[in-house]
Structure 1
Amino acid sequence: MIFGRYIKAESSKVFLISQKVIWLSALFMGILASIPKILQLRVSLTEVIVDCIIAFFYSLFVWFYNLYTLPRYANHAITTRFFGARLIRSLLLGIVVMGILVIVNQLLFKDRLIGTMMLMYQFRGILINLTIYMFLYLLYQSFINRIIAIELERTKSDHIEAQYELLKQQVNPHFLFNSLNTLKSMVEIGDEHSADFIVKLSDFYRYSLESRKKDVVPMQEELKLLEAYFYLLQARFEEGITLQLDISPEHKKTMIPVFTLQLLVENAVKHNIVSIDQPLKIELISSDNNLIIKNNLQLKSIPEPSTKIGLENINQRYLHLTGRQIEVRADGYFFTVKLPINEHISH
């Protein structure tokens, strides 16, 4: 950014102008404002110094007033408009301040004409005000553009990470290996449900391929994926796993990040004992504006390694789409994940 060097970098989200820039620019304005007096050649050194001091203090006022009325310091929405209420307030207040400085000058130098001075100084003050306001406006817009660019890069990075995690889920070799082993066993014993198992396995992987480029899908579509996925699990664990659904029809029409439910069920199976003696019971319940996924907690004696990338992935996607985080709670008996339902999520 062309103006980046004038902005302090203590924090990437805090807009601060270097004090050196403010004071040096105010001094420059004071010297610049006294040049017309110097060119007259017949003015005294005192008049030149007075002009310089008035322009210097006026420039300082304009700098700090406009700086502290920015959204960084005040509760105002960020605006990209140059002409607006802030500029009008700055000009009007600047006229008052310049008038006070001229009156003080008149009181100190009684032989000067206040009427002529007032018009000259007010015109000079408006030019100084507009110059500083424009420079500050450009600095602030440069800062906002930089913040937006950083957020876009962060969002892109999060999206790439999420896509990578989804890709790993879609081609999970362990799940495919277990499913094929289950299918082999079913075929060997002549299980009449072998054909259904093949269909569900095909449905699951077809959906995985079709959804790999999507961010969100209707919950009803996600539930179809979960149904196919759970059928494969149940064929493997039989009565060792159950799934109970209690989701209202209106919530089924809302959007949900793709693979969310499948990933949560997979986590439950990964970290808990699943057997006929100790069945794993998973519940999906919609309540108010939340979707609750709960399972009884019966952790494996030798836990599988966990990176917690899956839950963090889901949390980041919900934070990006709804502005709300997911809630995760384990109380010793149940592991519960609460997902926010937002009807305004779109494709």
Structure 2
Amino acid sequence: METLVNSGVTFVFALFVWYYNIYTLPGYTTSYKNRGFSTFRLMRSLLIGLAVMFLLAYAQQLLLSSINFGPDMLMVEVRGILVNLTFYMFLHLLYQGYQNQQVSIELERTQADNLGAQYEMLKQQVNPHFLFNNMNTLKAMVETNDEHTVEFILKLSDFYRFTLESRKNDLIHLSDEVEILTAYMFLLKARFEDGINLVNTIDPQYYSSLIPPFTIQLLIENCIKHNIVSLDYPLQIKLYTENEKIIVENQLQPKKSQEFSTKVGLENINQRYIHLLDQKIDIEVNEKSFKIKLPVIHEHYHH
């Protein structure tokens, strides 16, 4: 009978201490002061535990009058302190793990929001850069009374309508990018005529892969910006695939006086690939050619 009562008292006390410590745990907060070990909460828990254990021990004395209340009381209180300490430390460890998990989730959410904002800024850089270059092209055509000026304006309008439809996407199919490029090359041909030539030999199997919108168009702009483009020195550009890379290659015929570079083009493309694929673009330069190698993004493999 004595063993049964002792076990019952210990069980009731353990149950009380468990739920009391759970109830008094603070809610999650970003404040650092609520994340560490609290001596105040521990002392409060121990004092309340001592009081409850005293009451339970007194109840035990009423049930078992044969027990010497004085000597047994010290043993009961020590047992209560040990139980309370064990439960408190165990719950504290669980709580710390929960707090750390919440902090990690918040950090990941913040990083994701920051990356999303950065990528939106990268996408917004594309259209102003494109508009700036084509306004310069249109200005040159107007100044030289080019007969293709009106057609250029109409095609530019159609092209911009197409770009506005695509800009909301982070990725488009390579086939759509080639369609954008075809329209863009028409605009370039209107200005440079045979001074620029693009040869596209991309393997058709890659047309279903993905690419950030206007990537190739920006690379073509970069070729024009840094190289001579004229009927006497036509700029030859090749577009092909090799070893899971989309390659844009042009022969080097640099301008004598280089234009001021804002470095929007290549850095924009590089940052978009880092964001989307965690890979950088490859740049290879030799005496004769300049190559940009873009990693192929497969829809199902790269999710």
Same fold by TM (over 0.5)?
yes
Q: Which of 248, 251, 256 is the aligned partner of 2:211?
A: 256
Query: Does the 8 Å CA contact 1:282/1:295 hold for their aligned counterparts?
Result: yes
Query: Does the 8 Å CA contact 2:252/2:290 hold for their aligned counterparts?
Result: yes
Cα gap change, 1:323 to 1:40, in 2 (>3 Å)? closer
Cα gap change, 1:159 to 1:32, in 2 (>3 Å)? same
- Would you say how many aligned residue pairs link Structure 1 and Structure 2? 254
- The DSSP-based 3-state class of the residue aligned with 1:3 is coil
Deviations 1:97-146 (CA, angstroms, capped at 9, x unpaired): xxxxxxxxxxxxxxx99xx9889846742442123311x13321332233
When the two chains are superposed, the root-mean-square deviation of aligned CA atoms in Å is: 3.6
Alignment map for 1:97-176 (pairs within 5 Å): 121=82, 124-134=85-95, 136-172=96-132, 173-176=135-138
Cα gap change, 1:26 to 1:336, in 2 (>3 Å)? farther
- Larger gyration radius, structure 1 or structure 2: 2
- The DSSP-based 3-state class of the residue aligned with 1:171 is helix
Query: Does the 8 Å CA contact 2:282/2:294 hold for their aligned counterparts?
Result: yes
Task: Report the CA distance between 1:322 and its aligned residue.
Answer: 1.8
Q: Which residue of 2 aligns with 1:90?
A: none
Cα gap change, 1:233 to 1:167, in 2 (>3 Å)? closer
Task: Report the CA distance between 1:309 and its aligned residue.
Answer: 1.9
Measure the CA separation in 2 of the matches of 1:218 and 1:121: 66
Deviations 1:226-280 (CA, angstroms, capped at 9, x unpaired): 1121122223223322111111112111121111111100011011111233221
Percent of aligned positions that are identical = 32
Cα gap change, 1:198 to 1:168, in 2 (>3 Å)? closer
Aligned partner letter, 2:126: L
Q: Which residue of 1 aligns with 2:201?
A: 246
Cα gap change, 1:337 to 1:139, in 2 (>3 Å)? same
Measure the CA separation in 2 of the matches of 1:171 and 1:220: 23
Aligned partner letter, 1:230: M
Q: Which residue of 2 aligns with 1:237?
A: 192
Query: Does the 8 Å CA contact 1:328/1:336 hold for their aligned counterparts?
Result: yes
Measure the CA separation in 2 of the matches of 1:247 and 1:331: 22
Higher RCO (C-alpha 8 Å, min separation 6): 2
- The DSSP-based 3-state class of the residue aligned with 1:306 is coil
Alignment map for 1:177-326 (pairs within 5 Å): 177-178=139-140, 184-186=145-147, 200-326=155-281
Aligned partner letter, 2:193: E
Deviations 1:152-194 (CA, angstroms, capped at 9, x unpaired): 3322331332232123035332133345567x42269xxxxx8
- The DSSP-based 3-state class of the residue aligned with 1:186 is coil
Q: Which residue of 2 aligns with 1:59?
A: none
Measure the CA separation in 1 of the matches of 2:193 and 2:235: 11
- Structure 2: segments with no counterpart, 5+ residues: 1-27, 55-73
Measure the CA separation in 2 of the matches of 1:290 and 1:316: 17
Query: Does the 8 Å CA contact 2:119/2:275 hold for their aligned counterparts?
Result: no
- The DSSP-based 3-state class of the residue aligned with 1:328 is strand
- The DSSP-based 3-state class of the residue aligned with 2:146 is helix
Deviations 1:21-57 (CA, angstroms, capped at 9, x unpaired): 45xx47974885587569989xxxxxxxxxxxxxxxx
